[in-house]
């Protein structure tokens, strides 16, 4: 029997949920205020609906293309790398051929000259820091597969960047704290990159000590400097660092972390996804070892360890901005190392250069340990604080 309605008695009011989205996600406890203009009502970090007028439930991975979740099938997370590398290899061949064709068109006598002189000219033209920096522009083709695949879900370039994990610093979604966030990411990127350089140096030493015993004739490359990324003057140094920060770091991180690893983590166990992503990144970077098989063992393990560290940082942070800075700064530090090493050798200070470089790398390794401990401690403090706030 239904209770009788008494008109004279005040009925309890039914609370109506507010239509204003929350400024903090109730699940991951992250501040999402600056993202609401671009992703209204949804948390771009964990995919939860934060607008109470909609619902307070977590979204399915495939239900909303603006949550930052990977929507694409597993096959595209793997094929995108193959397609991207095929495009890059094609561009890396076509562009130099165009340059050589233009040179021959301007001076046909190059074809009638000595073949060795022609080879020296091509070597001088292509394998130098300026050419390396300029040819790095071809790496922009790496972002073609992710953006082409994401067009199925969102036509807006801005929203496709959001799907890949890029978070703008300025504009409507950046809020009034763009410079603060940018300086923070740059600072953490520099600290982590310095630590990675130190760890990588220790790994290379241990790896070479092992494989030198097994492959006495192998080329370990320890102490060798790649002439293509060794600047001879400050102009070349600035040009190479700019290419690392503005081209190499962003394009490779968008493809390997923002698209491929994100897609693998959405379809596989996160740890398996991390290992597969690290293997793909390693194989792409050691493919040149096929030319010299004896150097392949010396190259694979250090690259794989570095790839695991990069993939692990992205797995824990899901911060594509930070990964771009780490990658670009790490490569820039290697360029600075080669420039410093060559300059010291040029003035006859090889012994001092070795001592300073070994000491600096040891300091970087200690710094890396400190940064990791500090990062884990801060993360645990944030988790504990969020639990306390949630319980209250």
Does some domain include residue 9? no
Does some domain include residue 334? yes
User: From CA 324, how far away is CA 244, in angstroms rounded?
Assistant: 10
Write the DSSP symbol of residue 113. S
Confidence category of residue 52, pLDDT binned at 50, 70, 90: low
User: From CA 310, how far away is CA 317, in angstroms rounded?
Assistant: 11
Confidence category of residue 288, pLDDT binned at 50, 70, 90: low
For residues 207 and 276, membership in a common domain is answered with yes
**Using alpha carbons only, what angle is made at residue 273 by residues 271 and 274, rounded to the nearest 5 degrees?**
65
Say what percent of the chain tops pLDDT 90: 22
User: From CA 144, how far away is CA 152, in angstroms rounded?
Assistant: 13
pLDDT at 112: 66
Domain count, the chain: 2
Does some domain include residue 1? no
Mean pLDDT confidence for 304-321: 89
Between 15 and 132, the higher pLDDT residue: 132
For residues 52 and 26, membership in a common domain is answered with yes
Does some domain include residue 8? no
Give the residue numbers spanning the domain of 383: 70-166+177-391
Mean of pLDDT over the chain: 74
pLDDT at 153: 80
Q: Collect all residues with Cβ–Cβ distance below 8 Å to 151 and sequence separation of at least 6.
A: 160
Mean pLDDT confidence for 325-337: 91
Mean pLDDT confidence for 39-49: 62
User: From CA 51, how far away is CA 73, in angstroms rounded?
Assistant: 28
pLDDT at 386: 44
Instruction: Give the global pTM.
Output: 0.73
Mean pLDDT confidence for 256-273: 90
Mean pLDDT confidence for 11-20: 43
Between 23 and 281, the higher pLDDT residue: 281
| Ramachandran quadrant class, 312 (left: phi over 0; alpha: psi -120 to 50; beta: rest) | alpha
Does some domain include residue 2? no
pLDDT winner (highest mean) among 101-110, 186-195, 375-384? 186-195
Mean pLDDT confidence for 269-293: 82
């Amino acid at each position: 029997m239904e209770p009788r309605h008494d008109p004279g008695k005040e009925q309890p009011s039914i609370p109506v949920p507010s239509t204003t989205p929350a400024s903090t996600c109730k699940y991951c406890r992250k501040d999402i205020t600056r993202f609401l203009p671009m992703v209204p009502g949804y948390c771009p970090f964990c995919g939860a609906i934060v607008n109470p007028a909609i619902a307070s439930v977590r979204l399915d991975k495939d239900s909303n293309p603006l949550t930052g979740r990977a929507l694409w099938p597993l096959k595209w997370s793997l094929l995108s790398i193959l397609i991207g590398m095929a495009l890059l290899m094609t561009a890396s061949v076509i562009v130099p051929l165009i340059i050589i064709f233009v040179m021959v068109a301007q001076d046909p006598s190059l074809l009638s000259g000595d073949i060795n002189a022609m080879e020296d000219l091509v070597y001088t033209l292509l394998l130098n820091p300026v050419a390396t920096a300029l040819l790095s522009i071809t790496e922009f083709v790496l972002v073609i597969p992710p953006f082409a695949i994401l067009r199925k879900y969102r036509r807006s370039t801005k929203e496709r960047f959001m799907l890949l994990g890029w978070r703008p610093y300025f504009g409507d979604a950046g809020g009034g704290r763009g410079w603060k966030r940018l300086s923070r990411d740059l600072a953490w990127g520099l600290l982590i990159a310095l630590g990675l350089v130190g760890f990588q140096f220790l790994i290379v030493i241990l790896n070479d000590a092992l494989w030198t015993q097994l492959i006495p004739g192998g080329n370990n490359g320890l102490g060798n400097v790649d002439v293509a990324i060794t600047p001879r003057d400050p102009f070349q140094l600035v040009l190479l660092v700019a290419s690392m920060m503005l081209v190499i770091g962003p394009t490779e991180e968008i493809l390997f972390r923002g698209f491929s690893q994100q897609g693998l983590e959405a379809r596989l166990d996160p740890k398996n996804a991390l290992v597969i992503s690290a293997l793909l990144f390693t194989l792409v970077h050691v493919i040149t070892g096929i030319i010299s098989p004896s150097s392949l063992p010396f190259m694979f393990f250090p690259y794989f360890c570095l790839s695991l560290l990069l993939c692990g940082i992205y797995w824990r942070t899901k911060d594509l901005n930070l990964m771009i800075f780490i990658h670009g700064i790490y490569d820039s530090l290697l360029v600075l190392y080669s420039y410093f090493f060559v300059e010291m050798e040029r003035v006859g200070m090889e012994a001092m250069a070795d001592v300073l470089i070994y000491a600096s790398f040891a300091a970087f390794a200690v710094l890396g340990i400190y940064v990791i401990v500090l990062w884990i401690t801060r993360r645990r403090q944030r988790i504990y604080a969020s639990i306390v706030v949630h319980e209250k």
